[in-house]
Structure 1
Amino acid sequence: MTRSNMINPIDADLVPAVATPCFVVMEDRVLHNLAVTAQACGGVERLMPHVKTHRAAWLVSLLLAHGVLAFKASTLAEVEMVLSAGGTRVTWAFPTVNPQNIGRFIELARAFPEAELTGLIDSREGLDVWTRLLEGASPSIRLRVDLDPGMGRTGVAMDEAALELARGVARLGRLAGWHVYDGHIRGAYDERKAEVEKLAGTLEVLQSHLREEGIDVDVVGACSYTFDLWPRSVMRYVSPGTWVYSNAQHLRELSHHKWVAAGFVLTTVVSTRNGTSTLDAGSKAISPDKPLRQRFEGAGEIVMMNEEHTVIRSDALHTGDRLLLVPEHTCTTAYLYSNALVRSLDGHWEYRDQLGNERSVVALTR
């Protein structure tokens, strides 16, 4: 059995005749993934899904309707998308020091006064900017201290420096707690579990120091490889995101979660020759941020990819055939499309809008 045959095969003939390449989503599969993810972490109320993985307002509404209470976002456009879709608890997981970006976040709090918006800081400089701009701002805006658990991207060291930042935010009356993204943790289950236990111990030391000072806060964090390993007593909210659509990588490496592929790229075979087939989906249709031969499953070995075409090794396909490909990285593939062809729960097909590569806040009025 080839690797591509192991990745939740779906018959492309189930999809209506549409222009290709096209991003395709199966709503029933999204809800399956929600159910098994919620079970794995101990309850849907514990989930704070990261919307960067889909950037679709209709999915925010769907998750709200099925018990999800809070969301995490990377960009201001994503924050506004969640708020416009009815979300009332959003964490902006981006510890910026840019006054213009922070100012727009504060404007969103003013436009959506019933929502609780939370930003991140990981430096004294960031705290100074937020302190200045938050004067007179909505009390619904809170801050989390972003901790670096070893990933080396953002976050303050998990030591006295973190406590000093937390105390500074507490003096503002806006401390929500900690944020811990451990996306660097990989490997076998026992290895991941040991890493999480070590981090949980360090985090508990920080928490105990704050509690001794009368400061009681919670924690948001984790990733797809660790969300089920963090005890609820240490981390209140977990934020895996890729589970919504899943992807080829996680279907292989995290098969115990029973996720299924829910987001695909529909492509057409436009040419065949000498044991190869050419697809009309290239790097502008499937994210090229993985090594060439690992960019998708659902077809033969990838020989080459350019902007509009991919050549695969296959002598079983015919010109005109259609394929549903499972991206290796669905998050950055969804980002390439401003809409998706969705099979709804009742079996109907319809196009639904998503942010695609939109990064700016479109409107601040309601």
Structure 2
Amino acid sequence: MIIKEIHNLSILDSPSIILIREIMEENINLALNMVPLERFRPHVKTNKILEICEILKSKGVNKFKASTISELEMLGIAGAPDVLLAHQPTFVKMERFLKMIHSYPGTKFSCIFDNYENLNYFNELLKSFKITQDIYIDINVGMNRTGVSPSHLITLFEEALKLDNINIIGFHIYDGHIRETDIDERNRIVNEAFQQAYSKIETLEKKYNKKFIIIAGGSPSFSVHAQNPRVECSPGTFIFWDWKYSKILPDLNFKCAVYVISRVISIINSKKICLDVGHKAIASENPFPRIIFLDFPEAKSISQSEEHLVLEIEDTSNVKVGDIFIGIPDHICPTIALHEYLHVVEKGEYLYDWKVMAKNRKINI
């Protein structure tokens, strides 16, 4: 589909985001062709939309991953059977997590831990509610963000075994730092990082005569982990894709399904214009360019503030105030979280809106 041929695009205010549903469906189907359903656990942190979770469920997806309590609750509302909170809960979130279990009994919730003291506190809280809870141990294989180091994994595991209300069912490994463009190099680094953890997991499996669930990777390493029968894969960005991943991961055939609509609000001079797509409309944690415009790919971002983006283009003589500029976000995940609704396009026509339900820190619980 040629995005600019959406015939009723002009009725939408800006800045806003549109979803080409056919492209999103293609991305989902491509992912499902890469890995068996039983090993597919998509991360909802990118989409945050109830209707999309329901579409995934309708295609047979029963396992999900989330980063926030709101995302967890959205999946509870969707009736997702198996949901992992891949973000170690602290004290307040532990209480919200337990309320979630009570409120959505049809969903089996689990969470990750990398710290004995925190896990022990959770165990005491579980005791007071007379609950036994499934958890995964989070392992750091180089992201250096969360997770126990592989060298300390066995110690943490065996300490956690002594906690009566904790049931360790598996391990969580995130390798988002590995984004090599060369697929052979990416395969090598992903597998080397994974092996750091897997060698320890194998030791525990032999010692305790038990097979554990292993959840690993995101979108960049998806194609690598998809080849490993021991791994549940948990990509998130795949569903919408973005400019950054399309550049650095050309071997993955996902397509950009979400676009940002902006308008010219001022013509500064013969080379510069100002658009209405500021920090509040597009993720701004990365350097320029934060958005690539379809009709002006050579446009140079000069400055950005809360509601404004100044661009330098070759010639402004054919541009007028009110013109629509359509762009692909460099980073889609935080961009989605900046918008209350996503405008859905089917067969070249804007038809309806989906609420970005889990953008808020709280839905009900």
- TM-score normalised per structure 1: 0.89
Match status 1:102 vs 2:131: no
In structure 2, the residue corresponding to 1:202 is in which secondary structure? helix
- Contact 2:343–2:350 (CA under 8 A) maintained in structure 1: no
Query: RMSD in angstroms over aligned alpha carbons?
Result: 2.2
The Cα of 1:218 is off from its aligned counterpart by 1.2
Does structure 1 residue 191 correspond to structure 2 residue 185? Answer: yes
Give the aligned partner of residue 3 of structure 1.
none
Determine which of 197, 205, 230 is the counterpart of 1:203: 197
Letter in 2 for 1:115: T
1:31 aligns with 2:25: yes
* Alignment counterpart, residue 237 of structure 1, candidates 232, 249, 261: 232
- Tell me, which stretches of 5 or more residues in structure 1 are unaligned? 1-7
Report deviation, 1:137. Answer: 4.5
Which amino acid counterpart does residue 276 of structure 1 have in structure 2? K
8 Å contact kept, 1:302–1:313: yes
- In the alignment, what sits opposite 2:361? 359
The match for 2:156 among 153, 165, 172 is: 165
CA contact (8 A) 1:200 1:234 kept: no
- Aligned counterpart for 2:274 among listed residues 272, 278, 294: 278
SS of the residue 1:54 aligns to: coil
Query: SS where residue 27 of structure 2 aligns?
Result: helix
CA positional deviation for 1:61: 0.8
In structure 1, the partner of 2:133 is: 141
| Distance apart, 1:276 and its partner CA | 2.3
Match of 1:121 in 2: 113
Q: Secondary structure at the match of 1:256?
A: coil
Query: Which aligned pairs between 1:167-182 and structure 2 lie closer than 5 A?
Result: 167-171=158-162, 172=164, 174-182=167-175
Is the partner of 1:71 in helix, strand or coil? strand
Q: Distance in 1 between matches of 2:214 and 2:129?
A: 24
Corresponding position of 1:322: 324
Post-superposition shift, 1:236? 2.7
Alpha-carbon distance change, 165 to 344 in structure 1, aligned in 2, over 3 angstroms: farther
- Which amino acid counterpart does residue 284 of structure 1 have in structure 2? K
CA distances 1:9-49 after superposition (whole Å, capped 9, x unpaired): 62164425111111111111111111222223x23442211
Aligned to 1:305: 304
Secondary structure at the aligned position of 1:250 is classed as helix
Query: How many residues get paired?
Result: 353
Query: Under a length normalisation based on structure 2, what TM-score does the superposition of the two structures give?
Result: 0.90
The secondary structure found in structure 2 opposite 1:255 is: coil
Equivalent-residue separation in structure 1 for 2:237 and 2:216 (angstroms): 14
In the aligned structure 2, how far is the partner of 1:131 from the partner of 1:139? 9
Amino acid in the other structure paired with 1:241: G
User: CA 1:54/1:31 → structure 2, altered by over 3 Å: closer, same or farther?
Assistant: same
Question: Which residue of the partner structure matches residue 290 of structure 1?
Answer: 286
- Aligned pairs for 1:226-265 (under 5 A) are 226-230=221-225, 233=228, 235-265=230-260
User: C-alpha displacement at 1:203, in angstroms?
Assistant: 2.9
The aligned amino acid for 2:116 is R
Deviation at 1:136, TM superposition (A): 5.7
Extract unaligned runs of 5+ from structure 2: none
